[in-house]
Amino acid sequence: MPIDSLIPAAMVAPSITINPRVSALPMPPADLQNRLRQSAQLSPCEDATISQFIQDAEHDMQMYERYVQQFNIRQVALQLEIARYKSLKSPIRRLPRDILEVVFLHSAPVNNLGVGRAWYSAAFDLSSVCHQWREVAIDCPTLWCNIASSLSKRAKEPVEICLSRSKNHPLSLKLSRANDGDEGVFSLLLAHSNRWVNLDMDFNILLSLARPSGEFDGRLPLLKSALYEGPHPRAQEFLNSLSTAPKLRQLTCVEHIPPGSFRWSSIRDLCLVHLANPDTPRYALDALRECQHLESLVYCGWRHDGTTLEATEYTSPGVPLPPTTSHIRSITIQIWQYSGIYSLLRDLFQPLTLPSVTTISIHGQCYVDDDSFTTAFDGSWPYETMVDFLTRSHCALTTLELLGMPLYDDDVVGFLRLVPSLEDLTIHELWADADDIVSETSLRPPRMYTETITVSFFEQLNVGLAVAVFDWENTLALPKLRRLCLRVREHFDADEAFVDMVQSRWYAPLDIDNGVSIKLKEVELIVLDKDLDETLYEPLKWLEKDGMMVTVRGNGKYIV
């Protein structure tokens, strides 16, 4: 194919034939140099010859410029074609369509259409890249099913597009009120209520919209999760509609739990969010007694609002809480308070018996100044209460998370000895939490108070030391540990002890009883605000090559 056919018509320059007019100079260079040094005038013949030369040379210059321009145009055209053909050979074009859909789904978890004043939708962005991606995105209904929308006029058109492209697939909705509220947006979504699977709706929507009572009744056949904010009458009407949802399994309750008349038997996953009520453990225990088939409980004593965390106050109840037994498998406690974190944990676990629980996650944080720290963490980690809880429950705990609390290494090790079945352990020291909001230096007290992850902690997990002293019961903790994740602060000085422990867990003798032969498969150590000596961690690079998943990072820099 001729190169000219690649060039757009508007860019094509006329074909140029190189036919220069200048064939010889009017005089040799040496003669020209001499004449320039003299003041003698040119003769008429010399003047005519030089004028003709200048005219011809300028003509040739313009011709050469047009010729260069034509080559530049052809060069640009070739560059464009090279880019297009490289795109044709791009590895991503060899991906099967279904794999590309999976990549899209991971890249576009939610279509945010104004919630929190944010407007972003990876689904719309992906469908604008190229023709192929547009076809894949439009023909992937799941990509458009997760909608977070404000009920604003601006959101109406993109909501219509999402509903159209999602076809008849189930919808996950998060709805918020807008200042320029458009009831038409809510009506659009309500027309598809038979497709709702997850619903997180701002309670103010029920108060601001003039909607008839009972309009949700019988219209939620697929709904699996919802949010309840009581006890306003409109919220109670919505709750009655939720009771008629045959597949409802997950419920989030803010401030209050539904009354006993609610159909609790279907709830499997419950999240309780309490903002200011001091009697919060009682709500959790009441819910556990009501939900006989509950499998997981998430208890939040804090609220995340934009970029701030609003803490709650807590005082122990005057009347002892009633004993409560539940067969849940997972319990998550998230506490953000100015006072009473340990006392709340004590009051919650003291009457509790969970024989079937396998996962416990406790996340305690608070923003306090240096003088108020002892009040916020009044007392100490409720070790005896937790011992009694584990002894009473006889549970086979496999996953444990202790995040953001001032724990001493002895408290942690003593607790771990009570759960030899543990396979997955995560510990974040105080102010070493994964949440950026509470990790910022400005929100931390000016000094550290405890060191949780120490040399002694690693020695208790070291298989080699247990073999040396032949004292499995008192030396080795967590014989079945497979995954260990640690986040520590700049005080960390147990590098060598950590490396020795990890090596011992990987090279554990295979003929030793008591389950010690189970290898540690995954380990993560993140040290904040401190550079690590890379040479100390060289042995772990060999373990990574041998098959262990190892991550070591110091001050944001990956070491392994």
Per DSSP, the residues of 419-483 read -TT--EEEEE-TT--S-HHHHSGGGS-SS-----S-HHHHHHH-HHHHHHHT-HHHH---TT--E
Nearest Cα to Cα of residue 198 among 303, 263, 132, 271? 271
Report pLDDT for 400.
Answer: 97
Q: What is the pLDDT along the chain (560 residues), one digit of tens a residue?
A: 555 555 555 455 556 667 777 778 888 888 888 888 888 888 888 888 888 889 888 888 988 888 888 889 989 999 999 988 888 888 888 888 889 999 998 888 899 988 877 788 989 999 998 888 999 999 999 999 999 998 888 899 999 999 999 999 999 999 888 777 667 888 899 899 999 999 988 777 766 666 666 777 778 999 999 988 766 677 777 888 888 889 999 998 887 777 766 778 889 999 988 755 545 677 788 888 888 899 999 988 754 443 334 445 566 666 778 888 999 999 998 876 555 577 788 888 999 999 999 999 998 765 555 555 555 555 578 889 999 999 999 999 999 999 888 788 888 988 898 898 999 999 998 777 654 444 444 455 545 567 889 999 999 898 877 555 445 455 567 888 999 999 998 889 999 999 999 999 988 754 445 544 578 999 999 998 899 999 999 999 999 999 999 999 999 899 98
Q: Judge whether 455 and 497 are in contact, CB under 8 Å.
A: yes
Residue 249 main-chain phi, psi, to 5 deg: -125, -25
pLDDT of residue 470: 47
Q: How do strand 352-353 and strand 330-336 relate by DSSP bridges? A: unpaired
> Smallest Cα–Cα separation from 57: which of 82, 92, 23?
23
Contact 66, 16 (CB under 8 A): yes
Give residue 239's pLDDT: 81
Closest CA to 306 of 118, 172, 150, 107: 118
* CB-based contacts of 325, cutoff 8 Å, min separation 6: 352, 353, 354, 355
pTM (two decimals): 0.76
